[in-house]
Amino acid sequence: MKIKTINWLLVFVWAGFIFFLSHQPDLKSGLSHQWDFIFRKLAHITEYAILTLLLFRVISQYKLSERKILILVFVFALFYALTDEYHQSFILGRQATFRDVLIDSIGILLIVSWSVLRSKRLLIKKR
- State the chain's mean pLDDT as an integer: 90
pTM recorded for the entire structure? 0.88
To which H or E segment does residue 38 belong?
A: helix 33-59
Nearest Cα to 52, choosing from 123, 127, 121, 108? 108
Length of the chain: 127
pLDDT at 46: 97
Half-sphere exposure at residue 46, Cβ-oriented, CA atoms within 13 angstroms: 7
Which region among 17-21, 33-37, 76-80, 84-88 has the lowest average model confidence (pLDDT)? 33-37
CA–CA dist 96, 23 (Å, integer): 12
The band of 105, judged by pLDDT with boundaries at 50, 70 and 90, is very high
- Domain coordinates in residue numbering, the chain: 3-126
Q: What are the DSSP calls for 79-97, one per residue?
A: HHHHHHHHHHTTSTT----
pLDDT at 29: 64
